[in-house]
Structures are given as C-alpha cells and as structure tokens.
C-alpha cells in the first residue's frame, strides 16, 4: 500500500513517496523506507505498531526532505534517492501472514537495487527483513550486526515459533543468516537461559555482553565485529532494537533492561558501521510510543535512521572521490567561504579596527 496504516499519512521527514505496486516509482532508488507496524509478536508490553508513524515525524525541523549533517557534510536525504513506501498493510493479530507480507515487500525493494530501511514494529520483523534481503543477495551472504539488550534467539516462546524473542533463531535455522556471521552487541540482564546460550555457542555466534563492551571499549569490539561480519559475506544487515540503549535514553519500548548504551554510543556505532561497511539493509525496531516520554525514544530512532542514511551518502561520495571522512576535523575547518561573504566580512573587520578611534588593543 502507498499510505500508512496508523496516521498521519506522512513520509519519513518529508522524503518523496513511492508505491511498491508500481516498480517505476522506486526503480532509481538508493534507499527505500518501509513501515512494518506490527506488535503482535511482543511477549510483554505492546505498542510498537505505532513506531513507524513516530519515527517518521519525531523531529523539530521542517518535514522538508532535507537534513544536511553537521558531522558528515552530506545531505543524505538529498544526495541519495530516498523514498518512503509507506507501511506494509498487515494485521498484528495474524503474525504468520504479516511476516510473509513484510518479506515480500523487503525483497521487492532489495531486488530493485535499493537498500531497505524498515521501521518497526516489534523485533519479529527482523526475520522477514533479513530474509527478504538474503533472498536477493544469497542465503548466507548477508551477515548481521544486531544491537539489542536481548539475544532474540529463543526457540518457542509462549507457544509460538514466530515472535519478537525468536527471529534470530529462525534466520539461522533457515540458512538465511550464518550463525558464525551473526554479531550481537549490548546483551545484558537475565535472559535467555542456559540451553539457549548453548544453542548460540554451538552455532558460532559472537555475542558481546555489556560487561565485555565496557571492559574492552565499544570501539575495539566494533573493530573485531567488522572483521567477522565482512569475511566471506557480500554485506551487512543492521538490526537495531532501541532497547539496546539504557531505559534512561530509550524509555519508550516494550522490554526495557537497565544498563545499556547511551544514545551517543548507539549513534556513533551505527554511523561507523554505515561508513565503513557495505550495508545491505537496516531495521529499527521496538520503539513503542505509548511508553515514551517527551518523544525521547522516537527522536533517537529517527536519528538512528538519519545517521544510517548520512553515513551511506558520505561513504559513497568518498569512494567516488577517493577521499576519507575525518571525524576529528573541526566543524568549520575546510569550508570554502563564499567570496562575497569573505570580502564583506573583511570590510567589517577593517572598519572595527580603523574607524571610530577605538582600538581594541593598546600596546605600551
Ligand atoms: Mn530487545
């Protein structure tokens, strides 16, 4: 469908619409945003069905389809061809049908040569999201970097194979995702139990618990994860469960677990992945607006999507030009000041120094 399931009927920050039933409307896309307003897979608090609509609009700037990044010096929404395909028309109460519909739409986007960014929805959608991408790029060819407090590798939860605690096991079982190319960051707390952890170990997962990340540093863990994620794989799928962040930074979510990433750490990590690695798909899940406060969580999710798009834009520009982004470059360094503005400014400075008799500096 071309519109959104839970209104208002807007696109992500005002980017142009496309319609997945009309291939010509997204044939030239670099990125297609897709809403998956599903929360029938939640085990605890529901509400993530309102995530896509919150993620599209949570921003204090105009919905004008333009966001020039201060840090990356690109306007990802303009430099790339970014469309919003609206929401998958789904019924949260029929999860088996919902995951089939999501997979089909993600596959369409990927087969057209674009990167899908799926706005969740609960984490159930990672199963059809990654599968839709892997159907095009090849099963086993798409690694995954997964940000989450929870492993999401359960087998049968509440009597169901399909739900937000099991998508990663379904992906590995089907062969869409190689267990030894599956990286998890931010796990903590008191779930899953020992049999599930043993299943994970047996399948060669690399899971970074928060204590390891704190002890070794996030940068070192990411560098190590990047090496694994890019070995014998065409590219990476990034799955961001917003509950990877501490509930103080992301309260609006269904299963909050204290002691997580800061918003800053998540944005830095996502930016680094999208700048350094070939990213083939992204989902941002578990934003549940009914539990949010002052839009904290929706704003963070919106910025995660923007960092993804901006970093991909910068990566493409640098690869085309043979240049490299330097995160240590001062904000105003290297900016080519317009000649007219430079002359006006010099004139103003000269007047301040020379006229009116007042000299700012007295040397004795
Ligand atoms: Mn989670």
pLDDT digits (tens, 9 = 90+) for 294-312: 999 999 999 999 999 999 9
255 Cα–ligand 1 center, Å? 6
DSSP 331: T
Rounded Cα distance, 16 and 188, in Å: 39
Helix, coil or strand: residue 204: coil
279 Cα–ligand 1 center, Å? 21
Percent of all residues in the chain with a pLDDT value above 90, rounded to a whole number: 96
Rounded Cα distance, 144 and 161, in Å: 21
Q: Tell whether 93 is covered by a domain.
A: yes
186 Cα–ligand 1 center, Å? 10
**Other beta carbons within 10 Å of 333:** 8
Rounded Cα distance, 121 and 37, in Å: 5
148 Cα–ligand 1 center, Å? 5
Reference 68, options 329, 273, 331, 360; nearest CA is 331
Q: Tell whether 326 is covered by a domain.
A: no
Q: What is the CATH number of the domain that holds 111?
A: 3.40.800.10
146 Cα–ligand 1 center, Å? 10
Rounded Cα distance, 94 and 172, in Å: 23
- Work out the average pLDDT over 7-13: 95
126 Cα–ligand 1 center, Å? 11
Residues 6+ apart with CB under 8 A from 159: none
| Contact in structure between 219 and 268 (CB atoms under 8 Å) | no
- 18-75-129 Cα angle (round to 5): 45
* Total domains present in the chain: 1
pTM: 0.95
Q: Tell whether 307 is covered by a domain.
A: yes
**Other beta carbons within 10 Å of 210:** 19
Per-residue pLDDT tens digits for 248-296 = 999 999 999 999 999 999 999 999 999 999 999 999 999 999 999 999 9
Reference 226, options 293, 261, 260, 272; nearest CA is 272
- Work out the average pLDDT over 100-106: 98
243 Cα–ligand 1 center, Å? 5
32 Rama class: left (phi>0) / alpha (psi -120 to 50) / beta: beta
209 Cα–ligand 1 center, Å? 13
Q: Tell whether 280 is covered by a domain.
A: yes
Rounded Cα distance, 43 and 254, in Å: 8
**Other beta carbons within 10 Å of 288:** 30
Q: Is the pLDDT of residue 112 over 70?
A: yes
311 Cα–ligand 1 center, Å? 24
What is the pLDDT of the chain when averaged over all its residues?
A: 96
Rounded Cα distance, 3 and 11, in Å: 9
Residue 142 pairs in a beta bridge with 235
How far from chain centre, in Å, is Cα 130? 13
Alpha helix stretches (DSSP H) within the chain: 51-57, 76-79, 95-111, 126-137, 167-174, 194-202, 210-216, 218-229, 263-276, 296-321, 339-354
**pLDDT value for 144:** 98
Is it true that the peptide bond before 292 is cis, omega within 30 degrees of 0? no
**Other beta carbons within 10 Å of 140:** 15
| Contact in structure between 108 and 83 (CB atoms under 8 Å) | no
- Work out the average pLDDT over 342-356: 89
259 Cα–ligand 1 center, Å? 13
304 Cα–ligand 1 center, Å? 16
Q: Is the pLDDT of residue 142 over 80?
A: yes
183 Cα–ligand 1 center, Å? 14
**pLDDT value for 255:** 98
334 Cα–ligand 1 center, Å? 41
pLDDT confidence band for 3 (50 / 70 / 90): confident
339 Cα–ligand 1 center, Å? 52
**Other beta carbons within 10 Å of 246:** 22
115 Cα–ligand 1 center, Å? 23
Rounded Cα distance, 364 and 361, in Å: 10
Q: Is the pLDDT of residue 364 over 60?
A: no
68 Cα–ligand 1 center, Å? 31
Q: Tell whether 340 is covered by a domain.
A: no
112 Cα–ligand 1 center, Å? 30
Give ion ligand 1 contacts, CB < 5 A.
148-150, 241, 243
149 Cα–ligand 1 center, Å? 5
Q: What share of residues in the chain are helix, strand, coil (percent, to 5)?
A: 40, 15, 45
Residues 6+ apart with CB under 8 A from 103: 128, 129, 131, 132, 135
234 Cα–ligand 1 center, Å? 26
Per-residue pLDDT tens digits for 234-246 = 999 999 999 999 9
Q: Is the pLDDT of residue 90 over 60?
A: yes
307 Cα–ligand 1 center, Å? 21
Residue 58: give the domain boundaries.
12-321
């Amino acid at each position: 469908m071309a519109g959104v399931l839970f209104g208002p009927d807007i696109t992500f920050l005002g980017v142009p619409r496309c319609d997945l039933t009309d291939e010509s409307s997204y044939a030239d896309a670099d990125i297609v945003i897709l809403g998956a307003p599903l929360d029938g897979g939640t085990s605890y608090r529901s509400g993530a069905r309102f995530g896509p609509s919150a993620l599209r609009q949570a921003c204090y700037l105009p919905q004008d389809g333009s966001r020039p990044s201060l840090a990356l010096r690109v306007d990802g929404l303009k430099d790339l061809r970014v469309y919003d395909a609206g929401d998958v028309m789904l019924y949260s109460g029929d999860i088996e049908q919902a995951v089939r519909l999501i997979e089909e739409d993600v596959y369409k986007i990927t087969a057209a040569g674009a990167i899908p960014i799926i706005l969740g929805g609960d984490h159930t959608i990672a199963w059809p999201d990654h599968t839709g991408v892997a159907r095009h790029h090849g099963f086993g060819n798409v690694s995954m970097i997964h940000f989450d407090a929870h492993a999401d590798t359960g087998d049968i939860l509440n009597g169901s194979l399909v739900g937000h605690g099991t998508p990663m096991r379904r992906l590995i079982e089907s062969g869409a995702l190689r267990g030894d190319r599956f990286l998890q960051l931010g796990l903590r707390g008191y779930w899953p139990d020992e049999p599930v952890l043993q299943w994970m170990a047996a399948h060669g997962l690399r899971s970074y618990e928060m204590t390891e990340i704190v002890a070794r540093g996030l940068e070192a863990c990411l560098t190590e994860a990047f090496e694994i994620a890019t070995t014998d794989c065409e590219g990476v799928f990034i799955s961001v469960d917003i509950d990877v962040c501490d509930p103080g930074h992301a309260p609006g979510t269904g299963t909050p677990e204290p002691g997580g990433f800061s918003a800053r750490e998540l944005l830095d990590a996502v930016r680094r992945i999208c700048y350094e690695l070939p990213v083939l798909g992204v989902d941002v899940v578990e934003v549940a607006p009914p539990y949010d406060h002052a839009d904290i969580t929706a704003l963070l999710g919106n910025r995660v999507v923007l960092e993804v798009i901006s970093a991909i834009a910068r990566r493409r520009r640098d690869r085309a030009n043979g240049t490299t982004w330097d995160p240590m470059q001062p904000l105003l360094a290297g900016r080519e000041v317009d000649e007219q503005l430079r002359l006006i400014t010099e004139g103003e400075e000269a007047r301040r120094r020379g006229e009116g008799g007042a000299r700012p500096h007295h040397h004795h």
